[in-house]
Structure 1
Amino acid sequence: MATNHALTSDENPNSSQLLATDQTNLDQTHNFGAQISGDTVTPNSLAETSDQDPKVNSYSKIDPRLPIVGMVFYSEEEAYNFYNSYARKRGFSVRKGHLSKRKDGSVQCRHYICSNEGKRQLHPTHITKKPRPLERTNCLARIEFTVNRENIWVVRRFSDEHNHPMASPNKACLLRSHRKKVQKERPVFAESDLYHGVRPDTAKEHEDMAETGTGTGTAMVSGTNCLRKKRVRDLEKGDTQLILDFLKKKQIEEPKFFYAVQLDEGERFTNCFWADAKSVADYTHFGDAVCFETSYHSSMYDLPVAMFIGMNNHKQIIVFGGALLLDETIESFLWLFKTFLAVMSGKQPETIFTNFSVAVSEAISAVFPMATHRICLWHVVNIACMHGQAQTFGQESSFRKEFENLIYGSEFETESGFCKGWDNVMMKYSLNGNSWFSDVLNVRQKWAPPYQCSSFAGIMASKDWYMIMGNLFKRHFYRKLPLGKFMVQYFKSITELREKEWLEDLETLRTRPVPLVDIPMLAEVADSYTQTVYIDFEHEYKSQLACICETLTVNGSMYTYRVSVPQKPYMGIVEFEPSEVKVSCSCKKFESMGILCMHALKVLNNNNILYLPGQYILKRWSKYAKDESENDALAVRGSENGRVWRKLVELMVKSSFCKEILGIVENGLDKFIGQMESLAQGLDTDEVNIGENLHSNPLDSNNISFEGFEFYTR
């Protein structure tokens, strides 16, 4: 820790030439004027003084933690820790730089620099096939210490000129110099010490809280949303209370945590849904494609576990919310989808992937009419292998390989090619009479790749997603996990997923992909996309180099090309409009994946379009998909108006189940806004911004920031 006063000979008898300075003046200005003369410290300035830089002096009055010339430290560890602590607050990592020693081995001068200092050296004789992303940006930020023979460390020079983005405060801890090596110890409890995964004292505490009605939640009972039947599976009273206690505990730990519980006509627990503020914010940015996953069942009750899963701008899994359901009937799905839609401010996904279920399909049509419903290929492949086991005995591995090739193979990308391949597989393994395969073929428009290219899916329709989803459940869950342990494991898995996301965010912020060659379009994309998505784009760009482009027709300003790859069966028909630089391809890769295909890139290249048009760089794949400054401001607003947001969300959820109630709420809000506008006319515009605070939807996904509360609906 830095010394907040000048050194005197009394405080440090080993330095006879250290002179006292006026204490009051030092505390006011934090100008620890000291000068190295030979190997001693004397007052006044060094090579650079804070008096010569009035900006430093004025800034240090505001923030005494800002390093300034003349600050004194008594050890190398103290000096380094101070600057490293400052670096963490600023959002950069520290690296040890130049070190100068005397003949006797004692330190005379030490520099600490930003980790982005310097630049990568080019070695023409050692060129890697795929160079690592660039991290060095030749940053000039540094701090220089001069050390006398008494081991007194004094700041000689300080520069804070960074030329790269800074990490946000919540991610700075992931930077190299700020990581702490902590020996992780897994707590070991006897089975008798666990109340279905929750410590007895914790469970008892929340049982008392539930009985007394204390806590941060507010109860909501809606007679229009009662489950008009008794549950098929009766949960034990302790298990029901266990779930509620765990959710209450999460609510105390995270004030913005939300959950809703549905009761049946006998006042018994049936369905529940939960989501936190991070999930709502993620849905705002990446809610265009959602995978509704219900393949996992928990505990002895065989309860279906539902998860709303998405993908971020690094193509990683993110979770928008979780649920425990009574059963897999249309009533349960309707309640769950309506609750999810209300919490997400009414924003419907563009595409939603589910398993092969008639009940889910009907519920989606009723609640998400604007969304494209698709069946997840992960389910189709897994269930196809299960149904084919009886008739492919001894050939399971070969059947799975051929079926996966039929789904993901490039030679089956056309409708005719897919149908021909399907018939060949069914005939080879004698599956033509299997009812499941007949049923799934009848709805192939919802899952077969040749029929589903016009709606956005990201990687959810690819083999990569199939592997990611499989690893998610194998790594974090196993069947029949007790309820308490499942809830613990669920939130533990969410934490791990978010830690990986933060690491990718940080790596993308600090580094830049190295383009294959010096091409303006690749350089532009490297500055815009995340590293993961840039690799995909670069692959498409390399592939277009081998393509052949032929002009088919010219109709006014519209050009039509045929782009093909030699000795490959598939091709793309590309339409190009030069005046507005619009391009579209028959393969629909941009519509389904969000990046241009090799066919479209070939046409742009042939027409000398050096830079990628802005409309083809989707924000959801960019480095700036999440506006953190907006989120930070939002958190402040939420903390100041938590009660208001909570009541508004409660209104939203209550009214979402009845159109008549929704109309009453809308009329009431219109009257309220009118009254507030009249009242605000007499106030200072600096205090009340009508356009921003009254006309914006308080439940808009960009604005929502609600405190934690519970909903009991029946």
Structure 2
Amino acid sequence: MGGASTSKHDWFEMDVSNKRQKNRLLRYECKAHLIVGIKGDKWAVSHFVAEHTHPLMPQPELVRYYRSHRKIPEEDKDLIMTMHDVNFSTSSCMGMLGRVRGGDRRILPYVKRDVSNFRSKLRQNLNLRDMDFTVQYFERRQAENPQFYYAKTVDKETNSITGLFWVDGRTRALYPKYKDCIFFDTTFCTNRYNMPFAPIVGVNNHLQTVLLGCALLPNEQIETFKWVFQHFLLAMNNEHPLNIMTDQDKAMKTAISEVLPNTVHRCCKWHIQQKAREKLGKIMSRDEVFEQTFYTCINDSDTVDEFEENWQHMIHCFDLVDNRHLCNMWKTRETWAPAFSRKCFFPFTSTTGRSEGLNSYFKTFALLRYRIERQAVGFYTRNVFGKFQAEVTASTGFVMNQVPSPDIGSMRFGLFSNYYEDPKIFTVNVVLAEETFECSCNCFEMNGIICAHIVRVMVHLNVQAIPQRYLLERWSERATTPTGASGHLLHFALPSNNTLKYNSLCRKFTWLASQTRSNDVACKILNDAAHALEPIILAARRGELPEQREAQQQQPDQHQSTTQGGRQQTTRGPTHQQKQPQMQQQQGQKQTNRPTQQQQVATTPVAQDTTENPMLHNPARVPKKGRPTEKSRRRK
């Protein structure tokens, strides 16, 4: 068997070779060159050889394919990096670079493969320094907008990141309006370092989730949670949230009690019921009546006394007084039972609410029959008004009777639904002189809108308008109206990076131009100022300003800016960079000879940084502490 074989057919003969064809580079030892030097004060050609030992390229536009000519200029690299950061494809980058060069990508002194290789180096460099670049990104964000807040913890021994926390400037402006209810959870997906991602979220006036803050945690211990909440308070001007809901974590509970002592802490009911299914699954599978009674006791108890009475009746009826898990649930009932949080503001978080599909149906087809609905549609956001209109629709299904009131000047009404055989009775206390309506269901205290029972009483008493105390501004359109004092476009420091300087000034002058488009006087002022600044800026580029000359005379050796061909190049001073994280093996993970992702990246040549400084280490992997794997999450 040789390296080549011949395959014969009836109509042709094909030569098949399994040898790889090589593109040979012929060396002609060409001596053509040009040497330029300085003689006196002028440049001069000192030596020139014009004879070539090889034929020249007949088409000059194809010279760019030579390896010696295929180089990406520095200015094009800056543009490629900018497009790479916003996820441009390589083809799109080539098209944009061709437009900058005159409209055709074929005139570029490099090819698509060169751009692709350069972007690969950028990705490899990012993999090795992802945490260092993250901190640099936070610093740029803070330079552009001083309202941006971030904090980090660094291991002194390994110089690696162990924790990150950041809050956006827009979020800090919205927090005073949405601090009445926040949620904190660490069960979200993790990164390759197994650091839990812990977002702090709230609910805006459109019933949408608002990201108030984010954290990457090294572990789930008390000190870690205390660090997060302390920096959260620093970012929010030490304004404590009114209510917070978390999962059932002892370390988190301890940290909240120490850092947020004035905040009402409740545990997520879903986690409680999920754990109950694990611990009581055998009992529930054998007795469906117990399962129904268990969930009815939790979800349908409106008062604390009712919940405690139903709970004691349940454990005695099913002979579960000594059940260990039920005893633990009873000891911590104040943190998770909905009956204890009826008067706390946790809007629309209960799973026992009305069907969302039915609410959407009513919101689409129901008419505005009452004046209070017309008032609400002009005040609430669209999503909140849908909730309110569902309450109005549900109010028509209640039978109301007036009952004696113990207080003089007040009225009391008893309401029950006519849809159930054994309806529950709700009580509404009314003081018309003070415009107060209090219902035993505590819907307003919990969700921030009046319930169907109060709506039924208002319609019966011919109340024409909802009292202002029952119209929370956080559910209105005005809650997110920008104020004149925000000024995010103008109130930020000038960054040190050249690209950031350019982007920062572009945003400033674009904003100024937008303010003058409908005012001729303002437009003239801005135009005159631009003409006045033009000669000053050109003089500054040439270094002819008096302050520049004085600085050059005083510090000639420390001058860091040089001008070459009209392009300013700034040399960065030494910046403190920290190292990459050390990848650690998880507990229970088998040893393998296959190199890890970081080891593969580390052995790949990457673009070297020009600054010889210690680099920020990425965080080390931490144990998962019971979080489900990606495979198990997909199965669910």
Q: TM-score, structure 1 length as denominator?
A: 0.46
Residue identity in the other structure for 1:618 = L
Distance in 1 separating the partners of 2:477 and 2:410: 33
Residues 326, 570 of structure 1: alpha-carbon distance in 2 compared, 3 angstrom cutoff: same
- Asked which structure has the greater CA Rg, the reply is 2
- Which of 613, 637, 642 in structure 1 is aligned with 2:467? 613
1:170-217 C-alpha deviation (Å, 9 max, x unpaired): xxxxxxxxxxxxxx99999xxxxxxxxx97515637x9xxxxxxxxxx
- The structure-2 alpha-carbon separation of the partners of 1:296 and 1:513, relative to structure 1 and needing over 3 Å to count, comes to closer
Match of 1:286 among 178, 183, 193: 178
Deviation at 1:406, TM superposition (A): 4.3
Match of 2:279 in 1: 387
Matches within 5 A, 1:640-679: 640-643=490-493
Match of 1:260 in 2: 151
Letter of the aligned partner of 2:377 in structure 1? A
Instruction: Note closer, same or farther for the CA distance 1:309–1:401 as it changes in structure 2 (3 Å cut).
Output: farther
Alpha carbons 2:284, 2:290 under 8 Å: kept: no
Matched, 1:458 2:312: no
Task: Tell me how far apart the structure 2 counterparts of residues 295 and 365 of structure 1 sit (CA, whole Å).
Answer: 21
Percent identity over the alignment?
Answer: 24
Checking the alignment, whether the CA contact within 8 Å between 2:431 and 2:437 is kept in structure 1 is: yes
Of 509, 514, 519, 2:370 maps to 519
**Contact 1:290 1:351 (C-alpha < 8 Å) held by counterparts:** yes
Distance 2:321 2:195 in 1: 34
Q: 2:455 aligns with which of 582, 588, 601?
A: 601
Match among 298, 306, 322 for residue 214 of structure 2: 322
Aligned pairs for 1:345-356 (under 5 A) are 345-356=237-248
The 1-side partners of 2:475 and 2:328 are apart by 36
The answer to whether the Cα contact below 8 Å between 2:171 and 2:211 also exists between their aligned partners in 1 is yes
What letter matches 2:332 in structure 1?
Answer: V
Report the equivalent of 1:242: 130
Which residue number in structure 2 is paired with residue 577 of structure 1? 431
Aligned equivalents of 2:121, 2:297: Cα separation in 1: 52
Q: RMSD of the TM alignment (CA)?
A: 3.9
Question: What SS class does the counterpart of residue 440 from structure 1 fall into?
Answer: helix
Q: Using the TM superposition, name which of 335-344 and 595-604 deviates more.
A: 595-604
Distance 1:305 1:200, change over 3 A: farther
Pairing of 1:470-549 with structure 2 (within 5 A): 516-545=367-396, 546-549=398-401
**Amino acid of the structure 2 residue aligned with 1:368:** L
Tell me the SS of whatever aligns to 1:553: coil
Residue 564 of structure 1 is matched in structure 2 by: 416
What is the deviation of 1:342?
0.8
Deviations 1:472-506 (A, max 9, x none): xxxxxxxxxxxxxxxxxxxxxxxxxxxxxxxxxxx
Query: Structure 2: which amino acid aligns with 1:543?
Result: A
Distance 1:185 1:199, change over 3 A: closer
Structure-to-structure mapping, 1:182-197, within 5 angstroms: none
CA contact (8 A) 1:261 1:269 kept: yes
Q: Residue 418 of structure 1: SS of its match in structure 2?
A: helix
Structure 2 residues without counterparts, runs of 5 or longer: 1-86, 92-118, 357-362, 495-576, 579-615, 617-636
Q: Following TM superposition, by how much is the alpha carbon of 1:554 offset from its aligned partner in structure 2, in angstroms?
A: 5.6
Distance 1:419 1:199, change over 3 A: farther
Task: Give ranges in structure 1 of 5+ residues lacking alignment.
Answer: 1-183, 189-197, 208-237, 468-511, 645-709
Displacement of 1:399 in angstroms is 8.2
Alpha-carbon distance change, 270 to 397 in structure 1, aligned in 2, over 3 angstroms:
farther
Using the alignment, how far apart are the partners of 2:189 and 2:389 within structure 1? 40
- 2:169 pairs with 1:277: yes
Residue 548 to residue 349, structure 1, CA distance change in 2 (3 Å): same
Alignment of 1:302-317 (within 5 A): 302-317=194-209
| Equivalent in 259, 274, 281 of residue 367 of structure 1 | 259
CA 1:187 to 1:437, structure 2 compared with 1: closer, same or farther past 3 Å?
Answer: farther
Counterpart residue type for residue 387 of structure 2:
D
Amino acid at match of 1:642: F
Name the count of aligned residue pairs: 371
Q: 1:571 Cα shift?
A: 2.3
Give the 3-state SS of the residue equivalent to 1:457 in structure 2.
coil
Report if the CA contact (8 A) 1:313-1:530 is conserved. Answer: yes
Counterpart CA distance in 2 for 1:299 and 1:612 is 49
TM-score (norm 2): 0.51
1:343 Cα deviation after fit: 0.6
What amino acid is aligned across from residue 242 of structure 1 in structure 2? D
Q: How does 1:105-144 map to 2 (within 5 A)?
A: none
Partner of 2:115: none
Identify which range, 434-443 or 360-369, moves more after superposition: 434-443
Superposed displacement of residue 430, structure 1: 8.0
Q: CA-to-partner distance for each residue in 1:381-422, whole Å, 9 max, x for gaps? A: 222223334x359669998777555433x3x33445434554
Residue 609 of structure 1 aligns to which amino acid in structure 2? V
Q: Which amino acid aligns with 2:241?
A: P
The 8 Å contact of residues 150 and 164 in structure 2, kept in 1 or not, is answered as: yes
Preserved contact between residue 313 and residue 622 of structure 1 (Cα < 8 Å): yes
> Alignment partner of 1:337: what SS?
helix
- Rounded to whole Å, the distance in 1 between the matches of 2:153 and 2:250 is 22
